[in-house]
Amino acid sequence: MESDIPYIFLSLGAVLLLLLGACEVALRHLNPVVSQLEATEQKSMIGYLLRRESQVFLTIQLGLGIGLLLFAAGLYEVLYQLLLNQTALMHSLAMVLAAGSTILMSWLLFLGVGMGAASLATSGKTLRVLSGPLLLVYLVLYPITTLVKAVFSLFSGKEPKNENDLLTNALAFEPFGTKLPTPEESTLALLATEEVDTKIFHNALEFKNVKVRECMVPRTEIDAIELEDGVDALREAFIETGHSKILIYQDSLDNILGYCHQFTLFKHPKTLEEILMPMEAVPETMLAGELFVKFITDHRSIVLVVDEFGGTSGIVTLEDVMEEIFGDINDEYDEEDLLEQTLPEPGTYLFSARQEVDYLNEAYKLNLPEGDYETLGGFILSVLEEIPSAGDVITVPPFEIRILSMDEHRINTVHLSVKITSPEE
């Protein structure tokens, strides 16, 4: 029986190294959000351990040291028993082999097997599987780790019990009354914004291919007044539109002279020429990324977009470009007037033709065809290749689109229905 003890030490040391090595790597690579969520579980073993994370790490370090000692002692005895000539030279050789093998084996177990078992993708699963054995080691070594922790506390500064409250109160006197969120609030915030962050990341990757015409305000939606209308008309335009800038043209929108900012009205101008700001023109094929850099370097926030013939195609603001990455940016003066309504009959909707195809596909899972257009109205025009009239019906299987209203030559509202194919068909 005594001859089996070295093998028991050897096996126990190897198991401790493997178990605690995998647990340490898994704990260090555990996602902070997952860690906070697991710690809130009151009845789970992994939650119990995560709430005592500092002492668990101390247990792991102590357990790894014990595992190394057991493995080295067991390996030495095994080698010494295997050597027939138990002389002093063989005794020394056994010690050297045991020490070298222990170091090698610990690295293989801890870094090799441990890293593989507790990779970034499986760290949470690894901890759930090993939480039982880890809890057992934690309880066995609890008296020792508590004593070590108490000794260490004698040589470290004493932390106030209400440290978090003190820090929060101190930050409350910072500008805007900064307050630290609780772990639960931070976790919920991270989970709530995960989908948004993914969408922003995707938009940022696609931003390099976005052209100015894809984010501009089209010509038909430009709010502008003629130069001869005067200051009173400009004041009324600011009140009606809620915009901070109004374009000024002469004769037609193809001859944009510039824009006026609402703040310039405080100068009490007598004519529009006194407060007219020039506008730079850019082609609609320009990349939005290049325009964004131009906005920053030239300290501008609005440009005129022209087509290949030099006519006014639309306008683009700094906000329009940023929305291509961050999505719609609305303030208290923005009014959402684009119609989108789901009707009682399955697969039927009322939409404004200005709704973007990408948005409708994402929000309603319509799978509308994508092409060289941005809006639902653009999709209809690409199919018809002519200006429709109110009451016209366009059929593009499985969609049936009825034009409800027109605004001169622009499609205003439509009725869209999706034909649901029966299994028999």
**Residue 275 and residue 257: Cα distance in Å, rounded?**
12
pLDDT of residue 67: 77
CATH number of residue 363's parent domain: 3.30.465.10
In a domain, 191, yes or no: no
In a domain, 312, yes or no: yes
**Residue 350 and residue 39: Cα distance in Å, rounded?**
47
pLDDT of residue 286: 92
Contacts of 286 (CB under 8 A, 6+ apart): 211, 212
Q: How many helices (H) and strands (E) does the chain have?
A: 15, 12
In a domain, 243, yes or no: yes
In a domain, 321, yes or no: yes
Q: Quick one: 42 and 100 in the same domain?
A: yes
In a domain, 297, yes or no: yes
Average pLDDT in the chain: 77
Q: Quick one: 310 and 350 in the same domain?
A: no
Lowest mean pLDDT among 45-54, 119-128, 256-265: 119-128
pLDDT of residue 175: 44
Q: Quick one: 133 and 221 in the same domain?
A: no
Share of the chain above pLDDT 90, in %: 25
In a domain, 46, yes or no: yes
CATH number of residue 313's parent domain: 3.10.580.10
pLDDT digits (tens, 9 = 90+) for 200-224: 777 777 888 889 988 898 888 899 9
Q: Quick one: 278 and 247 in the same domain?
A: yes
In a domain, 183, yes or no: no
In a domain, 357, yes or no: yes
pTM to 2 decimals? 0.46
Domain of residue 348: give its range: 340-418
Q: Quick one: 107 and 42 in the same domain?
A: yes
Q: Does the structure show a pLDDT above 80 at 38?
A: no
Q: Quick one: 318 and 351 in the same domain?
A: no
Q: 100 or 254, which is more confident?
A: 254
Domain count across the chain = 3
pLDDT of residue 104: 58
In sequence order, what DSSP letters do the residues of 349-418 get, joined into one string?
EEEETTSBHHHHHHHH---PPP-S-SBHHHHHHHHHSS---TT-EEEETTEEEEEEEEETTEEEEEEEEE
Q: Quick one: 14 and 127 in the same domain?
A: yes
Number of Cα atoms under 13 Å in the Cβ half of residue 164: 4
**Residue 337 and residue 74: Cα distance in Å, rounded?**
79
What is the SS3 assignment for 277? strand
Among residues 326, 360, 378, which one ends one of the domains? 326
Q: Quick one: 57 and 146 in the same domain?
A: yes
- Mean of the pLDDT values across residues 351-379? 89
Among residues 138, 154, 170, which one ends one of the domains? 154
- Mean of the pLDDT values across residues 176-193? 50
Which pLDDT band, with edges at 50, 70 and 90, does 423 fall under?
A: very low
Q: Quick one: 219 and 296 in the same domain?
A: yes
pLDDT of residue 120: 45
Lowest mean pLDDT among 8-12, 224-228, 346-350, 392-396: 8-12
Distance between start and end Cα atoms, the chain: 78
What is the token pair recorded at 154? 């004698």
Among residues 154, 173, 188, which one ends one of the domains? 154
**Residue 403 and residue 295: Cα distance in Å, rounded?**
39
**Residue 10 and residue 16: Cα distance in Å, rounded?**
10
Task: Give, for 26, the enclosing helix (H) or strand (E).
Answer: helix 5-29
